[in-house]
C-alpha cells in the first residue's frame, strides 16, 4: 500500500496497512447475553453481474427470510438465513429505495424517498395499495404528506401504520390498515415532541410509537394518539430502530451514525455503532467503538436494522452515499453485514 493510498484510507476512515492485515478474522463483541461475531464481509450471495450499490434497509419476515431494500440491480432481494438468494423483484418501480418494513402477515411496506410514496406489497411482490403519487411532493416543512418520507411502522394489534416524514418535513402521519389518512403530529425543533429529521420509526407490543429523531441524537416515545411520553438521550445520531417482540420483553436495537466531525474521525465511541436497550431505556449492550470504516467490527452508516428468530442482527448501511461517492474513483463499499448471535 502506497503512502498516498494510506492517506486516502485514513481520510475516509478506511483501514491502515495494519488493519488490512487483520481483515478476514472474525471478532466477537457485546455484553452477555448479547454477544455477536462478525467477519467484516458483505453478507448475502448475489450473482457476479449484480450489485447492491448500497443496502438502505432490511426486514425479516415470519419465516426468517431476509428482505433487503437496495439501490442496485434488483431493489428487493430476499435471502435465507445463510445468505442464499431466494428471489428478487422491484425493477422499474422505485426511484430511491429508503425504508422497508413487514407486518404480521408478511406484507411488505416500501418507502421511496425519491418519488414520495409508500407502497404496500404482498410477500410475493403484488401491490396492495400506494400512498402518495409519483412526482408530487408536499412543500418543505408544510406538515402535509409527503416531503421525502423515510420509514413505516405497523401496529401489530390493528395494522394501523405510521409514516416517518422525514428529510424535508417534521411529521409522523398515521393511517389505518387500508391506507386511509387519520392524523399527523410533530413540528421542527429540539423540544419534546419536536423533530430534527424523523428518520426511523417502530412500534412496541403495547402500541407505543418510537421515533429515531436522528439529528436530535435521541429516540422519542409517543402513544398511539401522538402524545409525547418520554425520550432516550445520550445517543449518537440515532438513524434506525428495530423492536424485537418475540420474547417475554421487547428488546430495542438502535443503529447510530458517526456523530463527530471530520477532523475527529479517529475519536472513539462516537458511532457508528449498534446499541441494544430494554423497555426502560437501559443499555444492555453496545457494538462498535471505532470510527467509520470497513475493518472487522466497524460500520459506516447503519441506516436499517432487523433481527431474525435466532437473534442474529442484519445491518444495512448507506456507505456509498456517505463515503463511497466521495472517493476517487467513486466505488461501492460494504453495505450489508450480519452479526451472528453467540449463545
Predicted confidence at residue 24, as pLDDT, reads 60
pLDDT (tens digit, 9 = 90+) per residue, 146-199?
A: 999 999 999 999 999 999 998 999 999 999 999 999 999 999 999 999 999 999
| Residue 140 located in a structural domain | no
Given a cut of 60, whether residue 17 has pLDDT beyond it is no
| Residue 125 located in a structural domain | yes
Predicted confidence at residue 10, as pLDDT, reads 41
| Residue 155 located in a structural domain | no
> pTM for the full model?
0.93
| Residue 325 located in a structural domain | yes
| Residue 157 located in a structural domain | no
Work out the pLDDT band at 343, boundaries 50, 70, 90.
confident
Give the total residue count for the chain. 343
Question: What are the C-alpha distances in Å from 316 to residues 192, 261, 280?
Answer: 29, 22, 26
Q: Are 296 and 38 in contact (CB under 8 A)?
A: yes
pLDDT (tens digit, 9 = 90+) per residue, 103-160?
A: 999 999 999 999 999 999 999 999 999 999 998 999 999 999 999 999 999 999 999 9
**Cα 140–chain centre separation:** 23
Q: Residue written as cell 442474529?
A: 312
pLDDT (tens digit, 9 = 90+) per residue, 40-81?
A: 999 999 999 999 999 999 999 999 999 999 999 999 999 999
| Residue 43 located in a structural domain | yes
Averaged pLDDT, 247-258: 97
For the chain, give the mean pLDDT. 93
Indicate the number of domains in the chain. Answer: 1
Question: What are the C-alpha distances in Å from 331 to residues 3, 23, 67, 68, 321?
Answer: 20, 19, 24, 20, 10
Predicted confidence at residue 244, as pLDDT, reads 98
Q: Provide the 10 A C-beta neighbour count for residue 308.
A: 19
| Residue 97 located in a structural domain | yes
| Residue 312 located in a structural domain | yes
Q: Which residues form the domain of 27?
A: 3-103+114-131+222-341
Given a cut of 80, whether residue 321 has pLDDT beyond it is yes
Amino acid at each position: 500500500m502506497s503512502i498516498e493510498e494510506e492517506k486516502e484510507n485514513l481520510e475516509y476512515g478506511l483501514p491502515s496497512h495494519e488493519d488490512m492485515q487483520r481483515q478476514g478474522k472474525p471478532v466477537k463483541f457485546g455484553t452477555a447475553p448479547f454477544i455477536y461475531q462478525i467477519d467484516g464481509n458483505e453478507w448475502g450471495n448475489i450473482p457476479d453481474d449484480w450489485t447492491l450499490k448500497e443496502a438502505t434497509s432490511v426486514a425479516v419476515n415470519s419465516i426468517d427470510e431476509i428482505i433487503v431494500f437496495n439501490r442496485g440491480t434488483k431493489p428487493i432481494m430476499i435471502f435465507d438465513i445463510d445468505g442464499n438468494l431466494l428471489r428478487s423483484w422491484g425493477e422499474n418501480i422505485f426511484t430511491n429505495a429508503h425504508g422497508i418494513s413487514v407486518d404480521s402477515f408478511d406484507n411488505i411496506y416500501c418507502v421511496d424517498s425519491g418519488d414520495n410514496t409508500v407502497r404496500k406489497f404482498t410477500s410475493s411482490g403484488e401491490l396492495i395499495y400506494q400512498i402518495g403519487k409519483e412526482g408530487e411532493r408536499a412543500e418543505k416543512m408544510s406538515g402535509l404528506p409527503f416531503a421525502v418520507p423515510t420509514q413505516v411502522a405497523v401496529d401489530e394489534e390493528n395494522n394501523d401504520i405510521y409514516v416517518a416524514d422525514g428529510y424535508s418535513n417534521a411529521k409522523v402521519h398515521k393511517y389505518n390498515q387500508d391506507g386511509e389518512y387519520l392524523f399527523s403530529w410533530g413540528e421542527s425543533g429540539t423540544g419534546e415532541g419536536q423533530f430534527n429529521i424523523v428518520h426511523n420509526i417502530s412500534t412496541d407490543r403495547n402500541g407505543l410509537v418510537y421515533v429515531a429523531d436522528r439529528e436530535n441524537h435521541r429516540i422519542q416515545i409517543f402513544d398511539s394518539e401522538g402524545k409525547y411520553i418520554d425520550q432516550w438521550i445520550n445517543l449518537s445520531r440515532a438513524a434506525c430502530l428495530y423492536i424485537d417482540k418475540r420474547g417475554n420483553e421487547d428488546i430495542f436495537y438502535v443503529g447510530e451514525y458517526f456523530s463527530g466531525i471530520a477532523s475527529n474521525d479517529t475519536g472513539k465511541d462516537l458511532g457508528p455503532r449498534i446499541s441494544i436497550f430494554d423497555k426502560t431505556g437501559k443499555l444492555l449492550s453496545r457494538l462498535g467503538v471505532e470510527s467509520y470504516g470497513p475493518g472487522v467490527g466497524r460500520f459506516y452508516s447503519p441506516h436499517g436494522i432487523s433481527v431474525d428468530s435466532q437473534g442474529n442482527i442484519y445491518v444495512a448501511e448507506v456507505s456509498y452515499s456517505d463515503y463511497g461517492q466521495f472517493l476517487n474513483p467513486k466505488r461501492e463499499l460494504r453495505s450489508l453485514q450480519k452479526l451472528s448471535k453467540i449463545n
